[in-house]
């Protein structure tokens, strides 16, 4: 061992060493498990899973109204069927002998900027509009400016529109729940107003509306509850993991092995160079 290394070891205190992974989340000793200060025995008796999710991320137990709203967002994103790439890939992985943990991580691994990430982007957009309102801009003007900026940049507004639902069936109950919690004073409803105003401003060239989708609606909930935009994606991953697990489990309970994206005898189309002879090219 080099002298420098020996010195570094001699110089480092035990305190520095245990601080290396110091955390404000959990406190574990032999016979003791505490999270955010609460003993696990009391959490098992008195906290629900949604309370735990909130407490682990935010440090405190949520109020019943906050927990109810978070639960609705988590319930809404659990599944969107095998046509969702996260679910399809988990099912494919399950037929390849990866085991449940491999299948679930394959599905979760597909949740990124494009699939599952629009909620984070919508929250960031709502946040920017809220900042503009705090600086004195009027809601309608701020929203119209934002929509125009996205259009000018050729970008879709995150959280609005859906590939095949003319109106996302998850939109109404989610927004209704936010409105109810505003009535009860649980949230102030500012992000709800922003999102509704965007929806009003978002009309296609042919005059069709582009309703809010699940990502836009859950982003309203997460923003109203004070979560950071990055956590919108994290919470989506948590919720969708339930669906991914269920689909991976169903698929692994069936006898089919190595299921590809197309059922036989269908094959992916080919649009490359036509058949040719290698030997003819090498002479
Ligand atoms: C999901 C999405 C890809 C569907 O797009 P699509 O299949 O092209 O949707 P449609 O065919 O129904 O689009 C119809 C019209 O609405 C417009 N439109 C749809 N979503 C839009 C959006 N988010 N922002 C602006 N315009 C939108 C399209 O440009 C099109 O307008 P046009 O008729 O004037 O050309 C698109 O809405 C989108 O990218 N949304 C934002 C990202 C998002 O929220 N993803 C999560 C989906 S759950």
The verdict on 64 and 165 lying in the same domain is yes
The verdict on 17 and 146 lying in the same domain is no
Residue 5 lies in a domain: no
Report pLDDT for 283: 66
For residue 211, the CA-to-ligand 1 centroid distance in Å is 10
CATH of the domain at 144: 1.10.230.10
Share of the chain above pLDDT 70, in %: 99
CA distances from 67 to 79, 100, 241, 250 (A): 20, 29, 19, 30
Residue 244 lies in a domain: yes
The predicted-structure confidence for 15-27, as pLDDT tens digits, reads as follows: 888 899 999 999 9
Report pLDDT for 209: 93
Minimum mean pLDDT range among 11-15, 41-45, 132-136, 213-217: 11-15
Does residue 157's CB lie within 6 angstroms of at least one atom of ligand 1? yes
For the cut 90, the answer to whether the pLDDT of residue 239 exceeds it is yes
For the cut 90, the answer to whether the pLDDT of residue 164 exceeds it is no
Residue 279 lies in a domain: no
Confidence of residue 144 (pLDDT cuts 50, 70, 90): very high
Q: How far apart are CA 153 and CA 166, in angstroms?
A: 25
For the cut 90, the answer to whether the pLDDT of residue 170 exceeds it is yes
Asked whether the beta carbons of 198 and 146 are under 8 A apart, the reply is yes
Confidence of residue 62 (pLDDT cuts 50, 70, 90): very high
Does residue 163's CB lie within 6 angstroms of at least one atom of ligand 1? yes
Paired with 39 in beta bridges are 34
Helix/strand/coil for 36:
coil
Q: State both tokens at 16.
A: 């520095």
The predicted-structure confidence for 35-44, as pLDDT tens digits, reads as follows: 999 999 999 9
The verdict on 25 and 112 lying in the same domain is no
The verdict on 200 and 71 lying in the same domain is yes
The verdict on 129 and 21 lying in the same domain is no
Element containing residue 28 per DSSP (H, E):
strand 26-29
Does residue 246's CB lie within 6 angstroms of at least one atom of ligand 1? no
The verdict on 32 and 142 lying in the same domain is no
Q: Whose CA is nearest to atom 19 of ligand 1?
A: 161
Helix/strand/coil for 26:
strand
The verdict on 120 and 239 lying in the same domain is yes
For the cut 80, the answer to whether the pLDDT of residue 158 exceeds it is yes
Residue 79 lies in a domain: yes
Ligand 1, from 87, 161, 207, 219: best to mutate by most atoms within 8 Å of Cβ?
Answer: 161
The predicted-structure confidence for 242-279, as pLDDT tens digits, reads as follows: 999 999 999 999 988 999 999 999 999 999 999 999 98
> Which whole number is the average pLDDT over 130-155?
97
The verdict on 26 and 131 lying in the same domain is no
Q: Give the position, in ligand 1's atom list, of the atom nearest the Cα of 156.
A: 24
Mean pLDDT of the residues in the chain? 95
Residue 157 lies in a domain: yes
Does residue 166's CB lie within 6 angstroms of at least one atom of ligand 1? no
For residues 155 and 283, the model is more confident at 155
The verdict on 26 and 76 lying in the same domain is no
* Number of folded domains that form the chain: 2
> Which whole number is the average pLDDT over 123-145?
97
Residue 115 lies in a domain: yes
CA distances from 190 to 39, 122, 209, 217, 244 (A): 36, 14, 22, 13, 33
Q: How far apart are CA 250 and CA 75, in angstroms?
A: 20
The verdict on 122 and 33 lying in the same domain is no
CA distances from 182 to 22, 175, 191, 215 (A): 38, 11, 11, 20
The verdict on 29 and 130 lying in the same domain is no
> Which whole number is the average pLDDT over 115-139?
96
For residue 162, the CA-to-ligand 1 centroid distance in Å is 6
For the cut 80, the answer to whether the pLDDT of residue 181 exceeds it is yes
Domain encompassing residue 70:
49-259
The verdict on 22 and 159 lying in the same domain is no
Residue 192 lies in a domain: yes
């Amino acid at each position: 061992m080099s002298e420098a290394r020996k010195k570094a070891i001699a110089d480092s205190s035990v305190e520095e060493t245990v601080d290396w992974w110091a955390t404000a989340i959990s406190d574990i000793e032999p016979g003791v498990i505490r999270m955010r200060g609460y003993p696990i025995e009391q959490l098992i008796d008195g906290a629900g899973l949604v309370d735990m999710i909130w407490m682990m991320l935010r440090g405190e137990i949520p109020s019943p109204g906050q927990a109810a709203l978070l639960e609705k967002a988590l319930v809404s994103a659990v599944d969107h069927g095998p046509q969702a790439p996260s679910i399809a890939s988990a099912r494919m992985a399950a037929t390849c002998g990866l085991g449940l943990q491999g299948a679930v991580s394959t599905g979760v691994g597909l949740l990124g900027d494009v699939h599952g990430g629009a909620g984070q982007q919508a929250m960031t957009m709502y946040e920017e509009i809220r900042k503009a309102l705090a600086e004195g801009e009027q809601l309608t003007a701020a929203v119209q400016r934002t929509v125009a900026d996205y259009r000018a940049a050729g970008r879709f507004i995150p959280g609005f529109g859906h590939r095949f639902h003319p109106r996302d069936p998850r939109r109404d109950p989610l927004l209704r729940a936010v409105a109810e919690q505003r009535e009860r004073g649980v949230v102030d409803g500012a992000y709800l107003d922003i999102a509704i105003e965007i929806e009003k401003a978002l009309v296609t060239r042919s005059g069709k509306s582009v309703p809010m989708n699940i990502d836009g609606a859950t982003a309203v909930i997460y923003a109203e509850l004070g979560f950071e935009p990055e956590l919108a994606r994290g919470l989506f991953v948590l919720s969708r993991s339930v669906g991914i697990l269920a689909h991976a489990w169903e698929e692994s309970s069936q006898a089919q092995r190595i299921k590809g994206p197309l059922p036989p005898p269908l094959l992916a189309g080919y649009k490359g160079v036509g058949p040719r002879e290698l030997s003819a090219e090498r002479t």
